A and B are shown apart, each in its own frame.
Chain A
Amino acid sequence: MLPQHLSSRYPALLCAAFLALACGAAPILPLNARDEPKQPPTPAPDFNRDVRPILAARCFKCHGPDEGSRKAKLRLDTRDGAEHVLGKAKNSELVLRIASMEAGTVMPPPATKVTLTAKERETLAAWVAAGAKYDAHWSFVAPKRPEVPKLKIQLVHPIDAFVVARLQKDGLSLSPEADKYTLIRRVYLDLIGIPPTPEEVEAFVNDKTANAYEKLVDRLLASPQYGERWARKWLDLARYADTNGYEKDRRRSIWPYRDWVIKAINDDMPYDQFTLEQLAGDMLPNATTAQKVATGFHRNTMLNEEGGIDPLEFRYHAVTDRTAVTGTVWLGLTVGCAQCHTHKFDPITHAEYFRMFALLNNADEPEFSVPSPELQNQRAAIEAKAADLLKLMVGATAQQGDAYVAWQEAERKQAVKWVTLKPSKMEAGPTKLAIQPDGSIFASGDAKKRDLYTLTLEDLPAGVTAFRIEALPDERLPGNGPGRAYYEGPKGDYLLSEFMLTVDGKPVAVTGASETHTRGNLTAKMAIDGHPHTGWGGSGREGVGSSAVFNPAKPLTTKNAKLDLLFERHYAASLGRFRVSVTTAEGVKARDIPADVEELFTRPKGTLPNTEAILILGHWLYTAPELKVRRDEREALLKRLPAYPTTLVMQERPADNPRPTFRHHRGEFLQPKEAVKPGVPAMFGAQLNSPKNRMEFAKWLVSADNPLTARVTVNRHWNAFFGRGLVRTLDDFGYQGELPSHPELLDWLASEFQNPSPTPPLKREGLKPGDVPAPPPFLGEGVGGRGSWSIKRLHKLIVTSATYRQASLVKPDLLVRDPENKLLARGPRVRLEAEQIRDSALKAAGLLSPKMYGPSVFPPQPPGITTEGTYGRLDWQVSTGEDRYRRGLYTFAKRTAPYAMFGTFDGPSGEACTAKREVSNTALQALTMLNDAVLLEVAQSLAKRAVMHDGKTVDRVAYLFRLCLVRPPTADETASISKFYEAQRERFAREPERAAKVAGAGDGATERAAWTATARAILNLDEFVTRE
């Protein structure tokens, strides 16, 4: 490797030559003057690079794609629209207007508060003078694989060829390769998110084989921790969190989706498949459990559970979020800007926005149980025991035959004959009511705060004396029903506010009401009291049936009637599954007996086949007082049945009940206008296959017809490694986005990502046979071959380049010439992300748990974070055991009160899609690193490791230093730190009480306290939180 002294003394070009050798290519020779590109005469402005950004920023707002805000019928975003004002250079109205000094003539008009700079005016004038050529926007044209630049000395790695070719234009070159310590720490942090152990470092530093680095990369790509690192980045885009957001911000269970992401990334699921499964996994043929779980991507939207909200309004907001996020993540376009009006800059009309919205607007949003073999086995074992108990109960029944027979006799006397009604017509607004095989009615579609079910009843038996409403459980409903409450109230809750019967348009008096179950005062009588806010409530019995009986004042005299069931509450609480029956028997009240059992008791004695008689036995077993002891035992056992974890999924609506989508004026929920059909914007010149739905949308996103997805994706990954995208605006590839710094490299990477193809054979001139490295790892297997859309392959391609491997030393002259490091003449130095800082600290301390997957955990944080000032309070019960030390990605994410340390280090809240995290450098971060309890615990553990380490103080200092920073300390650093240690040890020796406080429990507090202080200082170095 390049010794330190060389790097500072040798000119850059020599270093580059050294680097090229190290990479296995011939050295780059000093540039010959003849190779310098000649300065051509000032060229005409390039439309995409120079002109459109000005027009877009200054003019499009009034003269752009949005008809609604267009002034003077002039649009400057198309040549046709602008033709009449462009003219020739001398008589161009556009040039005259922008140059005008008169308030009434000048463009943009003073009232807009937008002004053109002198340079912008010159550019526009020069462009008009040169013929005002319009070019298609670069990113809206599919990438064509560019030739890898031919350099005088051909570099091995195509990325380097592109980067060096660009650097040479400015007379620059790559920096030398980073030293091995820096390199291993960098590639560990980048690929798996945590630093290497000193042993791993030694192994790498001492591995002198030619492909030592490549072996390291392969090992990291295969590590399960790779998936954890890259899942976190994806979860930023997915706006993942463990709570619902908004006021109440209650817990939700969607961690199975997070685990799906980790697994998919570790399996290197091709990105096109990764896309299909997340956007439309439920619609894949024979969708697997995992594919359904994957659709959690768009279920990470927030859910407002505040009392009294309009649930459809917040569902609408969720779909706008899904539309915008899909635009950001796959298209790199600010699609969300077209929610309120036609996009001011990009060619997306208001109607087209809602066509995309429609593609995502046709799903139901259920909870989904995720069975696991482990839980299945546990359940089976318990169920087997319960079955044994049931057998014992059956045996006992046989012994007490008389009681059983007497009970049946008694039941037969009480049984009422009910007739189940099948309404001839059912209306319920956006809700669809459908009759089930058992005669019950199932409600699907969107529930509201006020749902009115109107049932037309025909052919009633003569003299109806009572109506029975059975509220029935159903696993398709929230909390298994019977109600449809899915937010704010208990899941599956319902409130039957009014039971209203009419005959011939006249209300029928209903005077009797009784129910089998009720919670509190929510009796069936309240459903006939005329007050819409009171009613019969099934709360407390979610997932369990109950029934109410309503008696008209007089038996009905007609065959036809209309039944209105009103459900009105401050949250959606209509019934999801129910059955309506009538009887003509007198004095009937609600009875707590299953309807099918009661029906059997109405049949003539002794006529029951065994299959049905068993139902009667079953009811006996569930109710007989004689069997109470066994039954209680069995119920206690069943309570121990472990529940399957649930997750949130999308489920496309059935073909016979699609949800219509409308264009909403100004993007407002309350202003739906004309209906729109699903589709993608016309600018893409492509049509979706039919049926135009979520699945076809997902397929189109990753098809060759879409010019954006591959570019946007490789750019985001490039950003992850270099701290800057080739297109700096990761989320905007539209007219307002920045142009790529290396357009050919971006397109080459995008092409290579979709269709890995063989790279031209290497030129190996100037290398001795022994120097020839193995074939580069990035070679593909041809178009459509293995490795297509492979993220791991993309990562390997990037991290094996010399561009990635160069040192990050910031040379003063470079800082002046290229402060943003756009040209990549050095490696980037970036602050670690919040989770990386936590994970690195725990790893250094030897505390980091390798446990993967499962529900989110609660590591320590300062008191009050999730309670004080938080409306939706969460008691943060600190996890015990290894869950205290899990990777940051498993930390419970509460949207309105994120984990304090992550918030301080720019972690996202999960309220919005984050394409790029901010990187700040603040005093609050310093306070966290210095004083947070987690960091102190880390320092204490590091102190224990130091004490256990054999050697003198300086050896222990070196050991601590390497645990935290990977590289060995310089002599100078060792001396400073050792001096600090000795000084603290002396002070602690004098103050044993203070030592005990700092060191924590245990012997040898003085030494441990001093080492704790020392470790704490090292953890606070800039280098610890920086990826060099």
Chain B
Amino acid sequence: MLDVTRRHFFRDCGYGVGKAALASLLCRGSTRGADTPRAPESLAPKKPHFAGKAKAVIHLFMAGAPSQLDLFDYKPELAKLEGKPLPPEVIKGQRYAFIRPEAAVLGPRFKFAKHGKSGAELAEVLPHLAKIVDDVCILKAVHTDQFNHAPAQIFFNTGFSQPGRPSMGSWVVYGLGCETKELPAFVVMSTGAGISGGAANWSSGFLPTIYTGTRFRNQGDPILNVSSPAGIDAELQKDTLDLVADLNRKRLATVGDPEIATRTAAYEMAGRLQTAAPELTDLKKEDKETLALYGADPDKPSFARACLLARRMVERGVRFITIYNEGWDAHSDVTGNSRNNCKTTDQASAALVSDLKRRGLLDSTLVVWGGEFGRTPMVESNPVLGRSLGRDHHPQAYTIWMAGGGIKAGVTLGRTDDLGFHPVEGAVHVHDVQATILNQLGFDHEKLTFKHAGRDFRLTDVFGKVIKDALA
């Protein structure tokens, strides 16, 4: 009798264990309230609005905000003005975090030269980027709304300055579902001292929590609790999972709630994660040449190692990876700060692009490099805080670069004025960058929406235009 019922149930109601498991072989599982229909929230792979060029995104987030004036946006005029304040009409009405607007100008700290066929101008501290500069698209006139780290980082990641909205990665997985059956679809790594915006940067906001970014950690398990406790060996773990599955199956027969089948599927997925995570993070299988290309020590957490892991994740179907490199906040000694951070990131960032390219993955992987805002043409010095020769936060104009995923290679777009203060050509707002990232994945950013609190929300709020000039 029960068997008949169950067969009917699985056949006619479309909730068979197999199906439930498939529909929710879900990188993180399924979601539902007692009331939520789950179909739209499944993590099963979904088609975007149109065929996108990119299948995955690697976002190299330079948290703290690199100095565009010392790395990308060469302004000889600043050298001439060094020590003098900017003209009053330029600085009128501007707000800064630490300095007064009338602070003196600080000239470029490094030598610049043109590189590649494209002739992109880069500072001497970016020698590796210089070698692949014909593969990237440099945007020199990006601007944002926020001038403090936490709000600006949250703004770049979620399109809004206060915590609570879904992050880019969450939107992407919400729209595309999940391809990998053994890893999370949205991964976050930190390679520095700490992220100002915190977990709000990879939160799913009001989207179902299954779309939250999963942290890959440097200490302990790469994914929380992915290894079994001491003494729980593989055989015991298998026996346990078998017993749990068996008893859950029996319970399902009595209770009839398909959510039980989903739970069993989540446990199967957990079992696979326990194998897949160590396999992913075991870099011994990478050849020496590749490790050297990135400059990665296989056993030591670093930005380089995270970049290599990101490539391995993309190969395994992970959709969205954000790697944070914190520490660019050069309120003092912008020279030393930039030099050190470039030492940490330049080689690996460039290696990531060239490695993806030689493996044929660059066309389908969008790499984005940049911070939450830029830095001032004016110097920051403050004897009380022990600061000198630094630069303050500058949201009016800064530089990011993108590569792969259908982005035009070997171009520099946008121009700032001679002081590097404001965009004068090709101004691009952070919402435009977000719209472009979604576009490359096949989404109309105005249509990727979720109804919450009475209205449709989207990543770009009510703004954003795809940067057409940046498309290949």
Which residues of A does B touch, CB under 8 Å? Answer: 8-9, 113, 245-247, 249, 302, 304, 306-310, 317, 321, 328, 334, 336-337, 344-346, 495, 521-522, 531-535, 537, 569-570, 722-725, 728-729, 731-732, 734-737, 808-812, 815-816, 819-822, 828-831, 862-864, 868-873, 895-898, 900, 903-904, 906, 909, 911-912, 916, 918-928, 930-933, 936, 970, 972-973, 976-977, 980, 983-984, 987, 994-998, 1009, 1013, 1016-1017, 1020-1023, 1025-1026, 1028
Contact between chains at A811 and B256 (CB < 8 Å): yes
Contact between chains at B251 and A724 (CB < 8 Å): no
Contact between chains at B224 and A997 (CB < 8 Å): no
- Of the stretches B32-40, B104-112, B120-128, B403-411, the one at the interface is B32-40
Q: Check A871/B193 contact, CB under 8 A, given A495-B384, A921-B30, A921-B262.
A: yes
With both chains docked as a complex, state the minimum distance between the C-beta of B363 and any C-beta of chain A, in angstroms. 29
Q: Which residues of B contact A811 (CB under 8 A)?
A: 256
> A724 CA to B34 CA in the complex, in Å?
6
> A1020 CA to B446 CA in the complex, in Å?
42
Contact between chains at A928 and B224 (CB < 8 Å): yes
Q: Which residues of B contact A1017 (CB under 8 A)?
A: 240, 243-244
Q: Which residues of B contact A868 (CB under 8 A)?
A: 190, 217-219
B227 interface contact, C-beta 8 A: yes
Contact between chains at B150 and A306 (CB < 8 Å): yes
> A568 CA to B392 CA in the complex, in Å?
16
B9, B194, B384, B454: the one within 8 Å of A815 (CB): B9
Contact between chains at A334 and B455 (CB < 8 Å): yes
Q: Which residues of B contact A334 (CB under 8 A)?
A: 453-455
> A522 CA to B386 CA in the complex, in Å?
12
Contact between chains at B194 and A869 (CB < 8 Å): yes
Q: Which residues of A contact B274 (CB under 8 A)?
A: 927
Contact between chains at A923 and B27 (CB < 8 Å): yes
> A722 CA to B256 CA in the complex, in Å?
18
Contact between chains at B228 and A922 (CB < 8 Å): no
Select from chain B the residue with minimum beta-carbon distance to A980.
B243
B47 interface contact, C-beta 8 A: no
B472 interface contact, C-beta 8 A: no
> A684 CA to B5 CA in the complex, in Å?
53
B15 interface contact, C-beta 8 A: yes
B447 interface contact, C-beta 8 A: yes
> A927 CA to B270 CA in the complex, in Å?
6
Contact between chains at A812 and B455 (CB < 8 Å): no
With both chains docked as a complex, state the minimum distance between the C-beta of A1020 and any C-beta of chain B, in angstroms. 5
Q: Check A308/B148 contact, CB under 8 A, given A829-B257, A919-B34.
A: yes
Q: Which residues of B contact A307 (CB under 8 A)?
A: 97-98
26 contacts between A and B (CB under 8 A): A245-B163, A246-B198, A247-B148, A317-B162, A345-B454, A346-B454, A732-B454, A810-B255, A810-B258, A812-B12, A821-B34, A864-B220, A869-B326, A871-B198, A896-B198, A909-B203, A916-B33, A920-B31, A922-B266, A923-B29, A923-B269, A924-B29, A927-B224, A927-B273, A976-B243, A1022-B263
B81 interface contact, C-beta 8 A: no
Contact between chains at A931 and B228 (CB < 8 Å): yes
Contact between chains at B194 and A873 (CB < 8 Å): yes
Contact between chains at A819 and B37 (CB < 8 Å): yes
Chain B interface residue count, CB cutoff 8 Å, equals: 110
B149 interface contact, C-beta 8 A: yes
Contact between chains at A864 and B35 (CB < 8 Å): no
With both chains docked as a complex, state the minimum distance between the C-beta of A815 and any C-beta of chain B, in angstroms. 6
B97, B184, B196: the one within 8 Å of A570 (CB): B97
> A246 CA to B149 CA in the complex, in Å?
9
The 6 closest A-B pairs by CB, nearest first: A308-B97, A896-B198, A723-B34, A869-B190, A922-B29, A997-B231
Q: Which residues of A contact B2 (CB under 8 A)?
A: 8
> A51 CA to B65 CA in the complex, in Å?
50
- Those of B18-70 within 8 Å (CB) of chain A: 24, 26-37
Contact between chains at B259 and A829 (CB < 8 Å): yes
Contact between chains at A912 and B225 (CB < 8 Å): no
Contact between chains at B28 and A922 (CB < 8 Å): yes
B13, B28, B260: the one within 8 Å of A924 (CB): B28
- B1-12: CB near A (< 8 Å → 1, else 0) gives 110010011001
Q: Check A816/B13 contact, CB under 8 A, given A317-B162, A871-B196, A896-B200.
A: yes
9 further interface pairs, Cβ-Cβ under 8 Å (given A304-B150, A909-B203): A247-B197, A537-B384, A569-B384, A734-B454, A862-B224, A870-B194, A870-B198, A931-B232, A1013-B232
B5, B148, B150, B250: the one within 8 Å of A812 (CB): B5
B341 interface contact, C-beta 8 A: no
Q: Which residues of B contact A1026 (CB under 8 A)?
A: 259
Select from chain A the residue with minimum beta-carbon distance to B227.
A931
B79 interface contact, C-beta 8 A: no
With both chains docked as a complex, state the minimum distance between the C-beta of B80 and any C-beta of chain A, in angstroms. 25
Q: Check A1022/B251 contact, CB under 8 A, given A830-B34, A920-B29.
A: yes
With both chains docked as a complex, state the minimum distance between the C-beta of A845 and any C-beta of chain B, in angstroms. 16
> A493 CA to B243 CA in the complex, in Å?
61
> A864 CA to B220 CA in the complex, in Å?
8
B186 interface contact, C-beta 8 A: no
> A996 CA to B203 CA in the complex, in Å?
40
Q: Which residues of B contact A723 (CB under 8 A)?
A: 33-35
Q: Check A995/B231 contact, CB under 8 A, given A9-B1, A808-B255, A976-B243.
A: yes
- B228-263: CB near A (< 8 Å → 1, else 0) gives 111111011101100110111011001111111011
- Those of B180-225 within 8 Å (CB) of chain A: 184, 189-190, 192-200, 203, 208-210, 214-215, 217-221, 223-225
Contact between chains at B266 and A534 (CB < 8 Å): no
Choose among A535, A808, A869, A932 the residue with the greatest number of B CB atoms under 10 Å from its CB. A869
With both chains docked as a complex, state the minimum distance between the C-beta of A139 and any C-beta of chain B, in angstroms. 12
- Those of B294-345 within 8 Å (CB) of chain A: 324, 326
B26, B240, B326: the one within 8 Å of A1016 (CB): B240
With both chains docked as a complex, state the minimum distance between the C-beta of A16 and any C-beta of chain B, in angstroms. 18
> A347 CA to B94 CA in the complex, in Å?
36
With both chains docked as a complex, state the minimum distance between the C-beta of A311 and any C-beta of chain B, in angstroms. 11
Q: Check A921/B384 contact, CB under 8 A, given A870-B195, A896-B199.
A: no
Contact between chains at B209 and A918 (CB < 8 Å): yes
With both chains docked as a complex, state the minimum distance between the C-beta of A247 and any C-beta of chain B, in angstroms. 4
Select from chain B the residue with minimum beta-carbon distance to A310.
B95
Q: Which residues of B contact A521 (CB under 8 A)?
A: 383-384
Q: Which residues of B contact A1020 (CB under 8 A)?
A: 240, 244, 267
Q: Which residues of B contact A1016 (CB under 8 A)?
A: 232, 240
With both chains docked as a complex, state the minimum distance between the C-beta of A906 and any C-beta of chain B, in angstroms. 5
